[in-house]
Amino acid sequence: MNPDFPTYAPSDEHEMLRASVRELCEARVAPFAAVVDEESRFPQEALDALVGAGMHAVHVPEAYGGAGADALAAVIVIEEVARVCASSSLIPAVNKLGTVPLLLAGSEGLKRRFLGPVARGEAMFSYALSEAEAGSDAAAMRTRAVRDGDHWVLDGAKMWITNAGVSRFYTVMAVTDPGVGSRGISAFVVDREDAGVSFGPAERKLGIKGSPTRQVILDGVRIPADRMIGAEGSGFKTALATLDHTRITIAAQALGIAQGALDHAVGYVKERRQFGQPIADFQGVRFMLADMAMRLEGARQLTYHAAVKSERVMRGERVADLTFVSSACKTLASDVTVDAVQLLGGYGYTRDFPVERMMRDAKITQIYEGTNQIQRMVMARQLLK
């Protein structure tokens, strides 16, 4: 293994990063998490704190003005932010999701033009793949891009786009050759300021209410041809390759939510008394805690393992099982949080305790960037190759 990046275990530098992010989040993100959820508003306080500390997009390479942190460091940042506020963790997570297509397939000119503002905290970068009739079946998209001289003209509507309206830049997948299926899909960079770009109303959601989810509407959006990411027709391949990397960031988000829920549950069962003793003394409660912690730690180790494989691929190595491990860690990590509510009993079902919010937030990690049912299909396909 290349000695220039971490082995499977986090290094001392990674643990120092974790401590730094946790301290920042406890002080400047956690105090606003409940009100951000209650008011369904963007967590501006978190964005300001993360940008001020350089934690909003640590994955951007140094060549483009970023910190150049490895994939494991990015996972740790997202995990620690999600531990106190899942909505806020989508700031670094979606910045990575939107920019990975450029890192994988973009021209040097595109990288220099669009990664710098993200690295400096001047802009956020979202990812626009799904449509109303093209969710799990993303290749069925209808958004079109038609060549017009030195430009492309985009028409269509992208659905369920995280941080839409707040982000300045968008990686947009569109059909450039409608006759050849997924091989006719190309990827583009769209700017919020481009004429013809608008946004639908914010979705009313179960969780992650502080992260706006909206349609991105493209009405005759005319962009220069050099804003295509990679070769014409390579967009769907780039989209799938991107998700191999960014499913790991969703696993990190799920880990953070679950860790926050477990931390609250442990504190609660030590204080809550029934039948004359703390409920932590009851064997049934201890078994639930042990099972939750066991699943959480297993998911964490698999996620870190996947992050290191992701880093190897980003550095040009061939890693045959990245698709499998990224699907596996996302699926495993996203199924942990629910038991925390059960441990708090009736109190856990109320908004007086944060585990209610955490359970609602955790649900989306079983759905976006590929449902857990789709992930199982992906894993099985990898096994049966």
First to last CA, the chain: 26
Task: Establish whether 369 is a catalytic residue.
Answer: yes
Tokens in use for 10?
Answer: 């986090």
The strand pairing partners of 223, in sequence order, are 152
Identify the three-state secondary structure at position 284.
helix
Cβ distance 327 to 311 under 8 Å? Answer: no
Tokens 């959480």 -> residue: 296
**Using CA of residue 27, residue 29, residue 35, residue 37, what is the dihedral sign?**
negative
**DSSP line for 71-112:** HHHHHHHHHHHHHH-HHHHHHHHHHHHHHHHHHHH--HHHHH
Cβ distance 172 to 101 under 8 Å? Answer: no
* Dist. CA 138–CA 151, nearest whole Å: 25
Which secondary structure element, helix H or strand E, spans residue 373, and what is its range?
helix 372-384
In terms of Cβ atoms closer than 10 Å to its own Cβ (0-12, 13-18, 19+), residue 318 is: exposed
Q: How many CB atoms lie within 10 A of CB 51?
A: 16
Identify the three-state secondary structure at position 154.
strand
Catalytic residue, chosen from 80, 131, 311, 369, is: 369
User: Which residues belong to the active site?
Assistant: 369
